[in-house]
Structure 1
Amino acid sequence: MHFELNSDGFMSVKKFELMLKSNEVGFFDSEEFQQIVEHYLEAGKMIMARKAVQLGLSQHPSSVEIKLLQAEILVFDNEFERAHDLLNNLYEIQPHNSEIYIQKANIFSKTDDHEKAIDLLQQALELTEDQADVYNLIGMENLFIEDYKLAKLNFIKCLELDETDYSALYNIIYCFDFLKENTEAIEFLNNFLNSNPYSEVAWHQVGKQYFDLKMYEKALAAFDFAIISDELFVGAYLEKGKVLEKLGKYNQAIENYQITLELDDPTSFAYLRLGKCYQKLGAYDLAVKFYKKTVKEDPLLDKGWIALVDFYSKQLNYQ
């Protein structure tokens, strides 16, 4: 169950927190409590979520929705037996509530019975109005048992129902990559782009597929489209820089890596690639400067230290 925290929901959270500080008990309807608990769950504030559930049940002891959130917290706390008992009781009241099946599936998933979890999610699929979310959960269970083909199919169904679900898109490409289906991945992404021509994530992913196939010109075009779709997309500039390096266009690669430093916090990867480019151009002082920035940014990055070793070795500076 996921609620949008609109202005009313935000006010409910503030009112709830003020109530706790003042030790005065205020009244909330059951839907307000659902929003409050869901807010804390999504924020990872489990202590506050437990308090909200406790108070919610004291005011609405028969609320199935609040009890389902209680079950979700019990599962999080690994109190599986209590969660099972609670969900079985709720099933007697609302046997067609898809959330009961989803929470039960969550228990089986956490206890490594993924086949049973999938079976329950398949039942939830027939009952829920939010099929995209359930397909996504089934896909994740397929990944747990390393059934990448089925996982891919379920993530695709999820994306068909919600084309804005980029986590599903990433998971689809992960499955294609694991199955070494680069050509099939490109075909899938191009079909997706036919109906979502400004999806920077899809352009970025199709570019990576072309890069893996050493089709550098097509990869470059894809990353350019990703940047056109979102000129602040750091990942596209990094990947474009990598392609330009492969094409020997080091000055252009440097421009793209520099853009990433302006758009976001510097990364050791960008510093390393800048060092490599300057070394290729014979600008050795700049190369060393960026290699040193690399290891300062991430002292545990072995590639940064190796780059320095290789550089000094070529200069015969063994000391």
Structure 2
Amino acid sequence: MDKLQQGIDRMQEQKFEEAAKLFTGVIEENPGEPLGYINFGNLLLHMQEYERAERFFERAISLDDTAATAYYGLGNVYYEQDSFTKAQNQFLQAIEKGLDEADVYFLLGMSLVQQDYHKLALPYLSRAAEIDPNDVDIQFQFGLCLAQNEQFDEAERVLKALLDIVPEHADAFYNLGVICIYKEEAEAALDYFNEALKVQSDHMLAAHAKGEVEKALNGK
């Protein structure tokens, strides 16, 4: 097993100091190759050392401006610091350079959601959901984005499919209830809010919404 893979393994095992030594060795042996810098950048990202991680990813890009995973790593650095416009630009670069994975589309979509560009986010979240149909976070955020774009039937389909994966997803039940309110299906909304509260008794949004629907149904 080469040093690069050993370093990746140590990083996954949370043995960060050992991983750092291995990645340093990779860089010293191959200073003109971007992979050592990219993986050291990923390690620093895990350790929340964002300024150092940024420098390593930028160094990788200076060595190979087609290194898609370096742009992805740099996007993560900015995303973790709530610099969503800068993150968006890096994720777009990663995709343009050939990265075709669920995570990059998801984080690009979420960068746009964080800036309230829900319509622009939708195709990227859709692509992420298509690539990884079993990822709970991706499917949930895709469902939310559909609802925010008033595509209620499709949002309902996605959130119901999510409940097949995670039957006790309180937020999915809550948002299905909200969709039912928009569709003027008060009784169905009440059922979903009750389901959310069964799963999570302190779900404040569901409790509030349930109270409002009950008032409306009782004519108060």
In structure 2, the partner of 1:282 is: 184
Q: Please, what TM-score do these two structures have when normalized by structure 2?
A: 0.71
**1:153-192 aligned within 5 A:** 153-154=55-56, 169=72, 172-173=74-75, 175-177=77-79, 179-192=81-94
Gaps of 5+ in 1: 4-37, 45-71, 73-98, 106-119
- Superposed CA deviations along residues 264-284 of structure 1, whole A, max 9, x for unmatched, are 444111111101101111111
Mapped contact 2:75–2:90 kept (Cα < 8 A): no
Q: Secondary structure at the match of 1:185?
A: helix
In structure 2, the partner of 1:270 is: 172
- Superposed CA deviations along residues 170-206 of structure 1, whole A, max 9, x for unmatched, are x754532354432221221111112335311111111
In structure 1, the partner of 2:193 is: 291
In structure 2, the partner of 1:137 is: 43
The aligned amino acid for 1:303 is L
**1:1-319 aligned within 5 A:** 102-103=17-18, 127=28, 131=36, 132-141=38-47, 143=48, 148-154=50-56, 169=72, 172-173=74-75, 175-177=77-79, 179-315=81-217
Could you say if the C-alpha distance between residues 299 and 164 of structure 1 is closer, same or farther in structure 2, counting changes exceeding 3 Å?
farther
Mapped contact 1:138–1:151 kept (Cα < 8 A): yes
Q: Secondary structure at the match of 2:100?
A: coil
Q: Please, what TM-score do these two structures have when normalized by structure 1?
A: 0.51
- Percent identity, please: 14
Mapped contact 2:41–2:52 kept (Cα < 8 A): no
The aligned amino acid for 2:124 is A
Counterpart Cα distance in 2 of 1:317 and 1:310: 11
The aligned amino acid for 2:93 is N
Q: Secondary structure at the match of 2:202?
A: coil
* Structure ID, larger Rg: 1
For CA contacts below 8 A with separation 6 or more, give which structure has more relative contact order: 2
Query: Offset at 1:214?
Result: 2.6
Query: Offset at 1:164?
Result: 7.3
RMSD of Structure 2 on Structure 1 (CA): 4.1
Counterpart Cα distance in 2 of 1:291 and 1:163: 43
Query: Offset at 1:301?
Result: 2.5
